[in-house]
Structure 1
Amino acid sequence: MARRAWELDLSGRPLGETVLVPARSPYGYGRASYELNLGGNYDCEHCYLGLKQFAGLGWPERERLFHVIQESGALWLQLTGGEPMIDKLFPETYRLAYGLGVMVEILTNGSRLAAPRNLALLTRLRPNRITLSLYGATAESYARLTRRRGAYLMFVKGLDAAHEAELPLDLALIITRHNVHEADLMRAFAERYGLPYSEYTHMSPTIYGGAETLATQAPDHLADREPFNGCNAGHTFFHVDPHGMASICKVGRDDAIPLMTTGVEGLSHLAGVADSLMLRTGGCTGCQFSGPCRVGRPLAKVYQEAKAPMDRYCQHATTRS
């Protein structure tokens, strides 16, 4: 079974030293995500993090946080940022996550994947998935969006090294006004490597309520979102920021729980926070389009706080036009 599922050969290895069976958790969480920091080695124009600060937890606090994540019952953990691989504690953090027996996904721009230390670590302790953001099909478009010369070459070098090492990869195609003319080339790029990919055309305001990121969108190429039918944020999934504050997701960060103070017990309040954040308030109260609405309430609130054009998130704008 292990060989079929994970290409893991357990022949001749004691089961007790190889397979980790976690204790059943009363909290019922299956997934979590953790921002190692908000810093980045690019200055991407579309980045929803806004200010790119490198502050975060030190090592003893991270160890405590990861044991809280383990006690929550989470079996899948996403490591993100900022750019997680530029974090000075990334190798230790990854080894700790892997050692807890969770399935680890890494969101990265790929610029540090070819670094010998990172590549050796991820090849020896293979992650469940590495998702790389693709910002264009040429060096020129890459540099315009990331505002970093040489970013495209760093991405390709990292992708080639990880692909050669047969690491599990997929791509996130970020389509903006800078590269929309290369959308077909970006798809062909992914297909040339034989990698699965997803496309992202909607940019979010910053977590601080700034609308500057919306200028990067290509309005004529915004793909229709699926109707929002609710989600499990806060109930079976939670997000942790660089300071150990747990929120329902990366967007809905209000009423965050300080896990360094509360421990895993703090997560018992998160479902109630999630339910309150999903209530329709303000201009969304009594909306006749609430059924087929394509944007969850926390995301709509971010757009409203940023005074974003209504057509970016609300069907009323489409109806009026």
Structure 2
Amino acid sequence: MHSVIASPQEEKYLVAHPGARAGLQIPSRYYRELAAAVDAALDVPPWLVDAARGAWGLNLAGERSDRVLVVRPETTLGYSRATWEINKGCNFNCEHCFLESRPFDGLTPADKIRLLDMLRDAGVLWLQITGGEPLIDPGFPDAYRHAYRAGMLIEILTNGSRLHRHVELLADMPPHKVTVSLYGATPESFDGLTRTKGSFKNTIRGLDAARAAGIPIEMTLIITKYSADEVPQMRALAEQYAVAHNEFSNISPTYTGGPDPLATQAPEYLDKTAIFSGCPAGHTFFHVDPKGYATMCKVGREHPIPLMVEGLDGLTRLPAIADAQMLRTGGCNGCKLSATCRVCRPLARAYQEAEAPLNTYCQHGD
């Protein structure tokens, strides 16, 4: 099992350790030296032995490079990140969900592996596996193993309710991150939003299992009308179970413009996020849906590219598709305050199609 990943990233070269957040930037000559060492089954170079010990407390002295290193090849495509909906199916029925429907379907096991190979060859180092709920997909374990062995740093976005079933896998092959969504601090609020009896109990069970297995957890606290009066208790749960957490309250419409999720907003917690100053979606990262269609991101899904048909050549069209979706249209066309806008264009369009009041998404709405 590899301990270190060396990967080109745009014009840089990085060295990473699975399960560790910190990485190292190395010069191109060191990257080429590592590739040659793996090919020739040489010992790990002394400079990497020293660097790994200092950065991660990892002892690589006397280890053969081909046994502890994955050296990812260079690529003409400049993608470093991707998100993948392995399946839209979910064991919760959350009222605030941005997916307009959650069918349980996706690629065959063989095509999942083929897709992951394409992501690797596109340059993807950071892979976020999401859903739906990814941990209920029967193909998740094999897909995770394949992505890990390909030298990807994997984040799992999960509701945590099935985490207990996968802790052995995640302890053996450490993810970059496991991010658990927390929908409340009591069964009443949590199960109310998820519309699933026992969802709070099962998520806590998953968190307990992860903690016992030594798997670090990050949390996203989802603040809605159901949990607005429990925020201090939610923060306390994050302190108990997570190494870090963030809070999310700007509930959006579905990405197709369906307004129903907006009814779960807690108006007193709508925050003023940073001014939107551009986004590399479609240029350095992209999204893939359960059928293998690539789009600029989870929200901007116009003109999807069928990767399973076109292969990596299809991604060469994605930057232009993304640029077109970033143009101001509709209710934002001609806005004189656009320089201080806090919402990206694809998301603003979803709000506009939902006929959402301006004060639910635009800081100029008042």
The TM-score, its normalising length taken from structure 1, stands at 0.95
- Secondary structure of the residue aligned to 1:186 is helix
* 1:112-261 equivalences in 2 (<5 Å): 112-115=162-165, 118-193=166-241, 195-261=243-309
Structure 2 distance, partners of 1:277, 1:261, is 23
| Residue identity opposite 2:294 in structure 1 | A
Q: What are the within-5 Å matches in structure 2 for residues 291-310 of structure 1? A: 291-310=339-358
Describe the superposition over 1:254-299 as per-residue Cα deviations: whole angstroms up to 9, x where unpaired: 1111101111111111111111110111221221111010000010
Structure 1 stretches of 4+ moved >6 Å: none
Shift of 1:8: 4.5
Bigger RCO (CA 8 Å, 6+ sep): 1
**CA–CA distance in structure 1, aligned partners of residues 351 and 86 of structure 2:** 25
SS class of match (2:234): helix
CA shift, 1:17, in A, is 2.3
Which of 305, 311, 318 in structure 1 is aligned with 2:359? 311
After superposition, what is the alpha-carbon deviation per residue over 1:138-178, rounded to whole angstroms, capped at 9, x for unaligned? 11111101111111111111111111211121000000000
What is the one-letter code of the residue matched to 2:144? Y
Asked whether the equivalents of residues 86 and 131 of structure 2 are also in contact (C-alpha less than 8 Å), the reply is yes
Checking the alignment, whether the CA contact within 8 Å between 2:85 and 2:289 is kept in structure 1 is yes
1:177 and 1:195 mapped to 2: Cα distance? 26
Instruction: Note the alpha carbon deviations across 1:53-79, whole angstroms, 9 max, x for none.
Output: 011110121111111101111110000
Further displaced range: 6-15 or 298-307: 6-15
In structure 1, distance between residues paired with 2:205 and 2:353: 39
Is residue 268 of structure 1 aligned with residue 316 of structure 2?
A: yes
RMSD of equivalent CA atoms: 1.3
**For residues 283 and 142 of structure 1, what CA distance do their matches in structure 2 show?**
35
- Of structures 1 and 2, the larger Rg is shown by 2
Q: How many pairs were matched up?
A: 316
Matched, 1:61 2:137: no
> Would you say 1:41 and 2:63 are equivalent positions?
no
Q: Give the unaligned 5+ runs of structure 2.
A: 1-50
Task: For residue 316 of structure 1, report the CA deviation from its aligned partner.
Answer: 3.4
Query: Which among 37, 60, 67 is matched to residue 17 of structure 1?
Result: 67
Q: Distance in 2 between matches of 1:254 and 1:112?
A: 32
Distance 1:248 1:301, change over 3 A: same
Cα pair 1:239 1:247 within 8 Å, conserved = yes
**Structure-1 separation of matches of 2:333 and 2:195:** 40
Distance (whole Å) between structure 2 residues aligned to residue 99 and residue 5 of structure 1: 22
Q: Distance in 2 between matches of 1:202 and 1:160?
A: 28
Whole-angstrom CA distance in 2 between matches of 1:9 and 1:110: 33
Letter in 2 for 1:73: G
Counterpart of 2:140 (choices 90, 105, 119) is: 90
Could you say which residue in structure 1 is the equivalent of 2:123?
73
Partners of 2:57 and 2:101 lie apart in 1 by 41
Kept in 1, the 8 Å contact 2:219–2:242? The answer is: no
**Which residue type is aligned with residue 88 of structure 1?**
P
Q: How far 1:32 sits from its partner (Å)? A: 0.5
Mapped to 2, the partners of 1:181 and 1:86 lie a distance apart of: 31
Quick one: structure 1 residues 76 and 4, their matched pair in 2 at CA, closer, same or farther if it must change by over 3 Å? farther
Instruction: Classify 1:223/1:168 alpha carbon distance in 2 versus 1 (closer, same or farther; 3 Å).
Output: same
With structure 2 as the length reference, what TM-score do the two structures score?
0.84
SS of the residue corresponding to residue 339 of structure 2 reads: coil
Q: Which runs of 5+ in 1 are unaligned?
A: none
Going from structure 1 to structure 2, the CA distance change for 1:5 and 1:246 (only over 3 Å counts) comes to farther
Distance 1:278 1:32 in 2: 19
Counterpart Cα distance in 2 of 1:2 and 1:233: 32
- Separation in 1 of the partners of 2:111 and 2:53? 36
